């Protein structure tokens, strides 16, 4: 009788310990556009911010973000704070969800494709998956600042009925208005 009880206790403890840590992705050259995108999503999936990244989370992600995108995140966070102050008890915009990929719940894994450069930007396709349930592809727009590649925007394909297609910059701009 003790063995079944021990087995149940072991399963319960394993279930309470949280999800397994996702192994780091083997990213391409970090000085490349694709390497920048890969390292960013590795860090983002480790942090998994709900909605807008906090200032501390954004600071961790800053090495991979353009100055323009950081300003947009700051403006959206300021608007979110103002909304909370003006509407206590109501849910402000961008408080939930995964902003840097189409699916609200966020991906569980990703594969970075080959960067296509042109007009001062690199377009980096990223194939995302959410477990075995769904897959989709978004395009990450990468520019150069101070001699390094940084993410400037994301073209969201829209994965599922509650995740419209569009750009991350538009979503942030709308939240800040």
Q: Which residues contact 96 (CB under 8 A, 6 or more apart)?
A: 50, 51, 104
Average pLDDT rounded to a whole number, residues 143-148: 95
Whether the model pTM is above 0.85 = no
Contact 103, 159 (CB under 8 A): yes
pLDDT at 129 over 70: yes
For residue 93, the model assigns a pLDDT of 82
Give residue-wise pLDDT tens across range 91-104.
888 888 899 999 98
Q: Are strands 116-118 and 121-130 parallel, antiparallel or unpaired?
A: antiparallel
pLDDT digits (tens, 9 = 90+) for 4-62: 443 433 333 333 333 444 456 688 888 999 999 999 999 999 999 989 999 999 999 99
pLDDT confidence of 163, banded at 50, 70, 90?
confident
Asked whether the beta carbons of 85 and 75 are under 8 A apart, the reply is: no
Segment (H or E) for 47: helix 33-47
- CATH fold of 28-176, please? Nuclear Transport Factor 2; Chain: A, (3.10.450)
Domain boundaries of the chain, sorted by first residue = 28-176
């Amino acid at each position: 009788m003790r063995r079944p009880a021990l087995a149940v206790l072991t399963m319960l403890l394993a279930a309470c310990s949280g999800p397994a840590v996702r192994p780091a992705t083997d990213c391409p050259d970090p000085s490349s556009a694709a390497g920048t995108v890969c390292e960013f999503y590795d860090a983002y999936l480790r942090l998994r911010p709900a909605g807008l990244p906090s200032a501390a989370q954004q600071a961790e992600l800053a090495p991979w973000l353009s100055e323009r995108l950081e300003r947009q995140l700051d403006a959206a966070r300021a608007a979110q704070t103002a909304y909370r102050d003006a509407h206590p008890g109501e849910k402000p915009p961008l408080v939930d969800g995964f902003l840097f990929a189409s699916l609200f719940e966020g991906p569980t894994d990703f594969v970075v494709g080959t960067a296509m450069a042109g007009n001062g930007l690199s377009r980096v396709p990223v194939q995302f998956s959410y477990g075995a349930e769904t897959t989709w592809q978004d395009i990450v727009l990468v520019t150069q600042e101070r001699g390094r590649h940084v993410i400037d925007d994301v073209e969201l394909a829209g994965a599922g009925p509650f995740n419209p297609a569009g750009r991350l910059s538009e979503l942030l701009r709308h939240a800040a208005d």
